[in-house]
Chains A and B, each alone.
Chain A
């Protein structure tokens, strides 16, 4: 028989081969015992093997070789199964047990179906069945066009052992090609980086200073930092101690709002390219002899090296790179450290260093880096660290005072904020005209008097003309028509021979009046100028005249007004449906009214800080035996027989001269106007925004529509320029030629003049407010005794 091409390969019918009409199927049914056997129900198929589907014209025999072996109960069966798996016919049955190879024959009925080889109802420990050399009767070929060759081996129990054994005998092998569908593949890029393991470390020396080195002062005299007067500079360059190579003095300077600088000179132990020194780290400390109680004065890098080509001495100028450090800080970090107020309207800084400075203008404080280069904000009135210095503490002759300068003082600061924004205006105006029917036609004793009628076409045409001046119709036009009627003379003598008839057709065309709503839409630039003058009245009274300065900012709300005016679909799309005004002030992001308030508050803070800062121009200067611990955060009170003064250190310079043995700290403290009175930074109450007092007259909301009648005895000469409105004539009812020619007759027409928009409502407009706020500013202890 032919191999059943196109047929679905039967379940389990794998590893088969065929030669001639024989099928060679070496198949092993087996099952091993395990715990799951307890769940096997009697009568269940333990294993099965299906033949290809056969179609037989008449019954025929099939043969196969069978071997059974096992320790179990149950049977090996062969069934004939129609395609619908219904009404299968048992063809063969043998009990499971020991049965050597023997040929078996089954009779297959006519029709279509397949042979089903099964082990049924098995229970026991192990069973095996082999079948071989299955010879099927000739079958009509299946008609399926394609060849599908799936292999499915599906044990019916989860733990069934299902080996396939292929005997290598004297048979023609029939290799089975299994073609599977293209599998779905999930992939992920798998970049491999090979890196070195490393770690970061930082040596953490701990220096414990004797508390005495930062004590003393308050008239104690002596030199607490070096009690025995013996000291040494400690200078490390790029981590190497170069103190022994120093020549001349070492100095370190630091002042409020400036970088810390240092200078030293040394003779290198070996030749050095001076340019290679730029940017190299430097640390300078003051220590007692032997390096004890070293206190850091400076941490930074070399900015400029200079070499004396005669001696080889290199002089280094160093900086703590404060500007770079601040510039590298994020704005949120600066905000958290500095506090205060700032708004972009005050000017966008070039970098974050400038941003810090701009923000600090609203805080009574100074910036600095400490000796370890940590950013710090030092409040002017903070007294976290305070010392008292008396005459016994200072170097003789070093004490000097410079009082606050009048030229530096400020008694008032005027803050001006301009807030510019578009005011989007919408105006509704009435176009209205009305007459009674009697105006047009009325009965008299002599007959009927009539005038030429106002018509619907005249109304619509006139309104069309009115819209050409920037106005548009905002609602449907309402026209009042006369009702059809006949107007009779009031006597029997009829001027028209009996009456004046308004037909239904006339009534539809003629009009007694009309009502229309016109709308105009435009943007007006508004500039609110708020001026607040912050005044320190005490100092102004003392000076006798204002010492003023002005600061200001401009905030503008950006908007494409031209586009908005030209296109009514551009938001905001508020429309007027009444006679009157609407407006909306457009506030772009970052330029809202709240932003304007924020900018104004920042200006006010700056104003107060300027008053305070300008008052602190006095300086008390003196020198002490070197005190490395005194820095810009220290508040110093100076008490001598001739002077009492107190203030924060604003300048400090340490000069260490090993040659002379002198190590001196020169200090300057800032003192303000005398008084020693504290004052807190004000909590501002902003003045109200300025208001535009202009109010349009009623005529701004109504159209000009007059009435002019020609043909009457008193009718003046027609003047098109002044006769705006409904222009008509009396009907020529029986006038003589002389009468007709002696009178002025007008063209029948209607014209409407829409209202003008006043410059106060249309042109750029400035509104202003001016307020004065009095403040107090801290004063200092400053007494010349």
Chain B
């Protein structure tokens, strides 16, 4: 059964996010703010590996595998604040907590910096944002 947690465009968790970024060639990067949360009520989310102990992580991943000349997980930096984006490392998972609760109050803002790096003009569909294995249950 799929989790009700997903990525949203707004803090109120009303607009499912259309992922991706557009970079003007030469602009180096584009920043986006997305929200990870669940609009359901009375739910909580934990890492399936050790609920309540292990971290819930959001990380750049491949769809399904890297391609030559395509985008790479290092094209994405993740942080919990805009300031932290500068020091974030491309491709590194972001810990968003050990237990998250549903509803707008439990939404986690995630800042995503998409770097152009060696990409040239074009559209690249090789990467995604993905979580580790999660267990959703009644709060």
A207–B14 CB distance below 8 A: no
A203–B22 CB distance below 8 A: no
**Could you say which residues of chain B place their CB within 8 Å of the CB of A329?**
10-12
CB distance from A281 to the nearest CB of B (A): 7
B24–A200 CB distance below 8 A: no
Q: Is A205 an interface residue (CB 8 A)?
A: yes
Q: Is A330 an interface residue (CB 8 A)?
A: yes
Given A204-B127, A204-B128, A321-B14, check contact A199 B121 (CB 8 Å): no
CB distance from B110 to the nearest CB of A (A): 10
> How long is the Cα–Cα vector from A201 to B15 in the complex, in angstroms?
16
Given A208-B116, A210-B25, A328-B10, check contact A197 B134 (CB 8 Å): yes
Q: Is B69 an interface residue (CB 8 A)?
A: no
> How long is the Cα–Cα vector from A295 to B23 in the complex, in angstroms?
10
A209–B131 CB distance below 8 A: no
B18–A208 CB distance below 8 A: no
**Could you say which residues of chain A place their CB within 8 Å of the CB of B75?**
206
Chain B 23-64 per-residue mask, 1 if CB under 8 angstroms from chain A, else 0: 111110000111010000000000010000000000011010
- Name the contact of B119 in the complex, choosing from A206, A291, A330 (C-beta under 8 A): A206
B124–A328 CB distance below 8 A: no
B25–A327 CB distance below 8 A: no
B18–A283 CB distance below 8 A: yes
A195–B123 CB distance below 8 A: no
B11–A333 CB distance below 8 A: yes
For residue A299, which residue of chain B has the nearest CB? Answer: B18
Q: Is A214 an interface residue (CB 8 A)?
A: yes
> How long is the Cα–Cα vector from A639 to B124 in the complex, in angstroms?
39
A199–B133 CB distance below 8 A: yes
Interface residues of A in 185-231 (CB under 8 A from B): 193, 195-211, 214
- Name the contact of B121 in the complex, choosing from A193, A293, A373 (C-beta under 8 A): A293
For residue A293, which residue of chain B has the nearest CB? Answer: B121
Given A209-B22, A375-B10, check contact A200 B3 (CB 8 Å): yes
Given A200-B3, A374-B9, A374-B10, check contact A206 B15 (CB 8 Å): no
- Name the contact of A198 in the complex, choosing from B2, B33, B61, B114 (C-beta under 8 A): B2
Q: Is B71 an interface residue (CB 8 A)?
A: yes
Given A195-B137, A202-B128, check contact A211 B27 (CB 8 Å): yes
Given A197-B48, A207-B21, A328-B14, check contact A202 B129 (CB 8 Å): yes
B14–A325 CB distance below 8 A: yes
- Name the contact of A208 in the complex, choosing from B1, B13, B120 (C-beta under 8 A): B120
**Could you say which residues of chain A place their CB within 8 Å of the CB of B123?**
205-208, 291, 294
Interface residues of A in 364-386 (CB under 8 A from B): 372-375
A202–B6 CB distance below 8 A: yes
Given A197-B134, A330-B104, check contact A206 B71 (CB 8 Å): yes
**Could you say which residues of chain A place their CB within 8 Å of the CB of B14?**
321, 324-325, 328
> How long is the Cα–Cα vector from A198 to B133 in the complex, in angstroms?
5
Q: Is A296 an interface residue (CB 8 A)?
A: yes
> How long is the Cα–Cα vector from A293 to B121 in the complex, in angstroms?
8
> How long is the Cα–Cα vector from A244 to B125 in the complex, in angstroms?
22
A208–B11 CB distance below 8 A: no
> How long is the Cα–Cα vector from A196 to B112 in the complex, in angstroms?
28
> How long is the Cα–Cα vector from A209 to B26 in the complex, in angstroms?
9
Given A197-B135, A199-B3, A328-B104, check contact A211 B20 (CB 8 Å): no
For residue A196, which residue of chain B has the nearest CB? Answer: B1
CB distance from A243 to the nearest CB of B (A): 15
**Could you say which residues of chain A place their CB within 8 Å of the CB of B129?**
201-202, 204
Q: Is B66 an interface residue (CB 8 A)?
A: no
> How long is the Cα–Cα vector from A202 to B78 in the complex, in angstroms?
14
Given A193-B138, A208-B121, A325-B12, check contact A372 B32 (CB 8 Å): yes
**Could you say which residues of chain A place their CB within 8 Å of the CB of B32?**
372, 374
> How long is the Cα–Cα vector from A302 to B47 in the complex, in angstroms?
36
B135–A211 CB distance below 8 A: no
A206–B24 CB distance below 8 A: no
A198–B3 CB distance below 8 A: yes
Category for how many chain B residues contact A: 35 or more
For residue B10, which residue of chain A has the nearest CB? Answer: A325
> How long is the Cα–Cα vector from A292 to B121 in the complex, in angstroms?
9
Given A206-B23, A283-B18, check contact A193 B104 (CB 8 Å): no
Chain A 728-762 per-residue mask, 1 if CB under 8 angstroms from chain B, else 0: 00000000000000000000000000000000000
> How long is the Cα–Cα vector from A299 to B32 in the complex, in angstroms?
15
A202–B19 CB distance below 8 A: yes
Interface residues of A in 355-409 (CB under 8 A from B): 372-375
CB distance from A77 to the nearest CB of B (A): 58
> How long is the Cα–Cα vector from A203 to B62 in the complex, in angstroms?
9
**Could you say which residues of chain B place their CB within 8 Å of the CB of A210?**
25, 121
A330–B11 CB distance below 8 A: yes
**Could you say which residues of chain B place their CB within 8 Å of the CB of A207?**
20-23, 122-124
**Could you say which residues of chain B place their CB within 8 Å of the CB of A199?**
3, 130-134
**Could you say which residues of chain B place their CB within 8 Å of the CB of A373?**
9-10, 15
Q: Considering residues A201, A204, A211, A295, which has the most beta carbons from chain B within 10 angstroms of its beta carbon?
A: A204
CB distance from B112 to the nearest CB of A (A): 8
Q: Considering residues A195, A210, A329, which has the most beta carbons from chain B within 10 angstroms of its beta carbon?
A: A195
> How long is the Cα–Cα vector from A204 to B13 in the complex, in angstroms?
19
Q: Is B94 an interface residue (CB 8 A)?
A: no
A209–B121 CB distance below 8 A: yes
CB distance from B135 to the nearest CB of A (A): 5
CB distance from B20 to the nearest CB of A (A): 4
Q: Is B76 an interface residue (CB 8 A)?
A: yes
- Name the contact of B124 in the complex, choosing from A196, A200, A206 (C-beta under 8 A): A206
CB distance from A619 to the nearest CB of B (A): 29
For residue B33, which residue of chain A has the nearest CB? Answer: A374
For residue A204, which residue of chain B has the nearest CB? Answer: B19
Q: Considering residues B13, B22, B63, B127, which has the most beta carbons from chain A within 10 angstroms of its beta carbon?
A: B22
**Could you say which residues of chain B place their CB within 8 Å of the CB of A209?**
22-25, 121
CB distance from B105 to the nearest CB of A (A): 8
> How long is the Cα–Cα vector from A141 to B24 in the complex, in angstroms?
105
Given A195-B137, A200-B5, A330-B104, check contact A208 B124 (CB 8 Å): yes
For residue B22, which residue of chain A has the nearest CB? Answer: A207
A200–B60 CB distance below 8 A: no
Interface residues of B in 97-118 (CB under 8 A from A): 104-105, 112, 114, 116
CB distance from B21 to the nearest CB of A (A): 6
For residue B30, which residue of chain A has the nearest CB? Answer: A206
A206–B16 CB distance below 8 A: no
A198–B136 CB distance below 8 A: yes
A200–B130 CB distance below 8 A: yes
**Could you say which residues of chain A place their CB within 8 Å of the CB of B131?**
199-201
> How long is the Cα–Cα vector from A291 to B121 in the complex, in angstroms?
12
Given A202-B7, A325-B14, check contact A193 B25 (CB 8 Å): no
**Could you say which residues of chain A place their CB within 8 Å of the CB of B137?**
193, 195
CB distance from B11 to the nearest CB of A (A): 5
For residue A209, which residue of chain B has the nearest CB? Answer: B24
B10–A203 CB distance below 8 A: no
A208–B119 CB distance below 8 A: yes
**Could you say which residues of chain A place their CB within 8 Å of the CB of B112?**
204
Interface residues of A in 308-346 (CB under 8 A from B): 321, 324-325, 327-330, 333
A200–B7 CB distance below 8 A: yes
B124–A203 CB distance below 8 A: no
Given A198-B136, A328-B13, check contact A203 B20 (CB 8 Å): yes
> How long is the Cα–Cα vector from A212 to B23 in the complex, in angstroms?
12
Further contacts, 5 of them, CB under 8 A, given A200-B3, A281-B16: A199-B132, A204-B112, A208-B124, A209-B23, A321-B15
List the 9 closest pairs (A to B, CB-CB), nearest first.
Answer: A328-B12, A197-B48, A201-B130, A205-B20, A202-B19, A210-B121, A198-B3, A202-B129, A204-B19
A interface residues with partner B (beta carbon < 8 Å): 193, 195-211, 214, 281, 283, 291-296, 299, 321, 324-325, 327-330, 333, 372-375
A-B residue pairs in contact (CB < 8 Å), sample of 15: A198-B1, A198-B135, A200-B5, A200-B36, A203-B125, A205-B123, A206-B119, A207-B124, A208-B119, A208-B123, A208-B124, A281-B16, A292-B121, A324-B14, A325-B10
